[in-house]
Amino acid sequence: MKAERQLSVLLVEDNAGDARLIRELLRDTPEMQLTCVETLAAALARLARPGVDLVLLDLGLPDSQGLNTASQVSRERPALPVIVLTGRDDDALAHAALTVGAQDYLVKGTIEVGMLVRAIRYAYERKQAEVALREAHEFTNQIVHSVQEGIVVYDRELRCKVWNPYMERLTGVSATKVVGHGPMDVYPFSREVGVADALQRALGGEVVSLPEIPYRAPKNEDQAWVTATFGPLRDVAGTIIGVIASLRDITLRKEAEDLLRSLSTRDDLTSLHNRRGFMTLGPQYLRMADRNRQAVLLLFADLDGLKVINDTQGHRAGDRALRDIATIFQRTFRASDILARLGGDEFAVLAMETPMTSADRLKARLHRSLYAHNAKALLSLSLSIGIARYDPEHQCSLEELLAQADAAMYEQKREKRKQQVPVD
């Protein structure tokens, strides 16, 4: 307590002589302002208004006797320090007074000026510290219970001490079934997903993050996910006394990521459509051809010698070759055509047939583009090509059309092998 802070002290004492003694003891202490009332009722009326910092309380009042007097004052103002004044030098009574909320117990007739001033100062400071600690605890407790994040606290033996309401909602398991138990007792699968190891490492002083922990949702047993961080819990001396874990539900994020992956229609390496994109857009392309009564050509191409390139020059060279083929396709075909890398060294094109885009013309145009590339490139590239024709008058599925083009492409590969051209 700072010296300049003036304390307003309320003396509750019906004995005029005792009240006069207290006034005399505090007369030369200007930082303490004393007000006196004679009954508990008057004290409670005064305490209903702000401005009192401490109460000096006699237990024998006209309208209240014994410890009930102190209890009523503490109930009215629990944050207010109370010093009990009594004529009885009784250790049991002193202990009981402290139990009901008093900060100190002074025996009349033994009180000296220094003793009373120190008792008032210490009682006020202790109560302030007690209130601050309680408020901090309540504040922390509110955060733990209201935060939209799972908070779990374990002791040194990894027994659960705190399982907040978010964890109850997340897991469907109430705190009463978890507190006092270890994580493996509640969730045996925790060992398999790394939780047991993370807890032990946290007890050793590490902060451990597990970005994705799978579990079964309590409502429908569907796959769900959380992310968790485990860290050491220390006391004021810095000694590790347990583990504190924070968890967040990332199920929606995981589902969104899976959905995005499932909806992805582009090949990461070449930026052409991937097989999913081709098999999604292709049927729509054929339906449009049906409406327009127009034939469609499906060109299926395989990059010759990709394995040899990868084995002799490395996969980076192989990737560069695949990107070069994609560039050749983009320069050769129209924006309205569907270009795809179906996977590995396989490429496909869907193109509406016109007098200028017959199968022979389409193949010739691609070979010219390939020749132009090879004339300037360090690595010469070769394609095996097969073409199938879709006729609206004799409809088939995209899968059947692919099989026809694939068969035609492999026929060309066989011809190249006969001529000893490397095609694998």
Please give the backbone phi and psi of residue 183, each rounded to the nearest 5 degrees, phi first.
Answer: -60, -35
Q: 222 or 331, which is more confident? A: 331
- Beta strand 7-12 with 32-37: parallel, antiparallel or unpaired? parallel
pLDDT tens for each residue of 233-271? 999 899 999 999 999 888 877 887 777 666 688 898 999
Per-residue model confidence (pLDDT) at position 261: 67
pLDDT given for residue 409 in this prediction: 94
Q: How far is CA 179 from the centre of its chain?
A: 22
CA–CA distance, 204 with 317 (Å, rounded to integer): 47
pTM: 0.49
pLDDT per position as a tens digit, 42-91 = 999 999 999 999 999 999 999 998 899 999 999 889 999 999 998 888 88
| 321 three-class SS | helix
Q: Are 384 and 405 in contact (CB under 8 A)?
A: no
Q: What is the pLDDT of residues 343-364, one digit of tens each?
A: 999 999 999 887 767 889 999 9
Spatial contact of 373 and 328, defined as CB atoms under 8 Å apart: yes
Closest CA to 156 of 221, 93, 243: 243
Kindly state the tokens that stand for 112: 């000296």
Do the bridges between strand 82-86 and strand 54-58 make them parallel or antiparallel, or are there none, so unpaired? parallel
- Asked if pLDDT for residue 4 goes beyond 60, the answer is no
Residue in this structure with the two tokens 């307003």, named with its chain if needed? 8
For the stretch 177-199, pLDDT in tens is: 999 998 888 777 777 788 999 99
In the block, residue with structure tokens 């004492």 = 13
pLDDT number for residue 57? 94
Residue-level pLDDT at 411: 92
DSSP code per residue over 128-160: HHHHHHHHHHHHHHHHHHHSSSEEEEEETT--E
Domains parsed from the chain with CATH numbers: 7-143 (3.40.50.2300), 148-255 (3.30.450.20), 264-418 (3.30.70.270)
pLDDT, tens digit, for every residue of 391-400?
999 999 999 9
Confidence band of 32 (pLDDT split at 50, 70, 90):
very high
Measured between alpha carbons, how far is 325 from 319 in angstroms, rounded to an integer?
A: 10
Contact 339, 272 (CB under 8 A): yes
Take residue 262 and report the two structure tokens written for it: 């499932």
- pLDDT interval class at 220 (50, 70, 90): low
* 308/318 Cα distance (integer angstroms): 9
pLDDT in tens, 371-413: 999 999 889 999 999 999 999 999 999 999 999 999 999 999 8
**CB 33, CB 8: distance < 8 Å:** yes
Q: In the structure encoding, which two tokens stand for residue 185, read together?
A: 């007792």
Name the band, by pLDDT with cuts 50, 70 and 90, for residue 2: very low
Walk across the sheet containing 338-343 and list its strands: 338-343, 346-352, 296-303, 383-390
Report residue 421's pLDDT band, with 50, 70 and 90 as the boundaries: low
Q: Do residues 37 and 12 lie in contact, with contact meaning Cβ atoms separated by under 8 Å?
A: yes
Name the average pLDDT for the chain: 89
- Among 67, 49, 64, 75, which Cα is nearest to 14's? 64
Q: Residue 19: which pLDDT band, with cuts at 50, 70 and 90?
A: very high
The residues, ordered by sequence, that sit 6+ positions from 67 with a Cβ below 8 Å of its Cβ are 59, 93, 96, 97, 100
